[in-house]
Amino acid sequence: MGCLERGFLGGNGWKACQNPAKSVTFGRFSTQIASKRDDLGGKPVKSCTFGRLSPYPNRKQTVSKTKLRIKGDVKSVLKIYQCVKKFGAISGLEANLTKCSIFYGGVEDTIKNDIFNHIGFPEGVLPFKYLGLPLISKRLSYVDCNPLFQKISNQFQEWKKHRTLSYAGRLQIIKSIILGVQIFWTSCYVLPSKVLQKIDDLCRDFLWGRSDHSLKAPLVSWDKVCTGKNQGGLGIYSAITWNLATAMRTLWYVHSNKECLWIKWVHGTYLKESNIWQVRVKTGDSWLWKQLLKVRDKAVNLVGGTDMLIQIGYGNSC
C-alpha cells in the first residue's frame, strides 16, 4: 500500500490563496473519494482523515495535517489527486510542495518515479514527524528525543541573550515555556528516565546560569528546588514527576473509558473483559503499553492499593 502523509491536506502542507475559502463540507468531499472505490482496482481508500476548515470566510484558512492511505499505483494516486485538486478549486487552498511528502511501502522504483512525475511530491523518509513528534512503533530511544532537547536548548539560548535576566525571570521561563514543551511530549509518550534526567539537567543549568563557558555551582540541590514553596522549594515540577502525572492521567482516561478513539482501541485490544487495574503485561504488548502498566504498579504501591488510588482519582482525600 502506498501511504501519503501530509501529501494532500495539511496545516503545514497547504497554503491559503488570495481568495478566502467559502463554505466547504468535508463529508461531501469524503463521499467523492469513497465513490472512486470501483475505479481503484477493487480496493477502497483505507483511511481519509480531514482537518477542520475555519467557518469564518474572512480569516486566513488553514487545514490541519492529514494522512491519506491508498493503493500504491499511479492510477489510484491520480484518482485521489483529482479529488484533491477539486477540493483546492473550491476551498482556495493549494499544496505547498516544500512541505508535502509521499511515503511508500513495497512500491517499485519505476512506479515511484511515475507518481513523482505526475504530482511532484518528493518521497519522505521514515520515521516521519507529526506536530513535531516522532511517529514510531518501537521503543522510544534517547536519540528519538533529540528534537525535544533541541527545542528546550534553543529556548534557553534565546533567553540567555538577556544578560540582566534575574533568577526570578529564569524561574518563570522554566515554569511557563519549558513546562509547556514537557507537557506536550509527556502527554504523548512515557519518556525514558535518561531523557527525563537530561531535561532536568538543562533546566537546572539554566536556572543557575551554568554553561560551557561558566561553571557555576548550583546554589540549591535540584530535588529541593522541585518541592513546593511551603516546603522551602521553588515550586518547579521535575520532569520525572510530571512524566508520572501525565501517565497517570492517561491511565485514568482508560479507567473512565473517555470518548476517544485511542481509548476505545485500548479497551478492544488490551483490556477486553478486564480493566486497567487488573490487566497484566503479555508477550507482544507494545513498549508504550508496558510503560503505562509500570507506572500503574508504581502508583498503586505508592498510595497503598488500587482502591485508594481510585478514590484519589475521584477526588477523595487519602
Q: Do residue 226 and residue 251 come from a single domain? A: no
Helix (H) or strand (E) holding 95: strand 93-95
Last residue of a domain, which of 92, 126, 160?
A: 126
Average pLDDT (17-33) is 32
Strand partners, 130: 133
DSSP state of 106: S
Looking at the domain assignment, is residue 132 inside a domain? no
Q: Could you list the residue range(s) of the whole structural domain that residue 93 is in?
A: 2-126
Q: How many domains does the chain have?
A: 3
Looking at the domain assignment, is residue 220 inside a domain? yes
Q: Do residue 104 and residue 153 come from a single domain? A: no
Q: Do residue 227 and residue 307 come from a single domain? A: no
* Confidence check: pLDDT of 171 > 80: yes
- Please give the distance of CA 89 from its chain centroid, rounded to a whole number: 31
* Confidence check: pLDDT of 8 > 70: no
Last residue of a domain, which of 126, 155, 183?
A: 126
Q: What is the pLDDT confidence band of residue 213, given thresholds at 50, 70 and 90?
A: low
Q: Answer whether 80's CB lies under 8 Å from 70's CB.
A: yes
Looking at the domain assignment, is residue 215 inside a domain? yes
214 contacts: CB under 8 Å, gap ≥ 6: none
* Confidence check: pLDDT of 145 > 60: yes
Q: What's the predicted TM-score (pTM) here?
A: 0.64
Q: Do residue 153 and residue 237 come from a single domain? A: yes
Last residue of a domain, which of 193, 218, 241?
A: 241
pLDDT of residue 166: 85
Q: Do residue 233 and residue 272 come from a single domain? A: no
CA distances from 83 to 13, 14, 74, 78, 182 (A): 16, 15, 15, 9, 39
CA distance 135 to 144: 10
Could you report the per-residue pLDDT of 272-284, keeping only the tens digit for each?
A: 888 899 889 888 8
Q: Answer whether 311's CB lies under 8 Å from 263's CB.
A: no
* Confidence check: pLDDT of 57 > 80: no
Q: Do residue 33 and residue 47 come from a single domain? A: yes
CA distance 93 to 21: 8
- Residue with C-alpha cell 538543562? 202
Average pLDDT (15-37) is 34
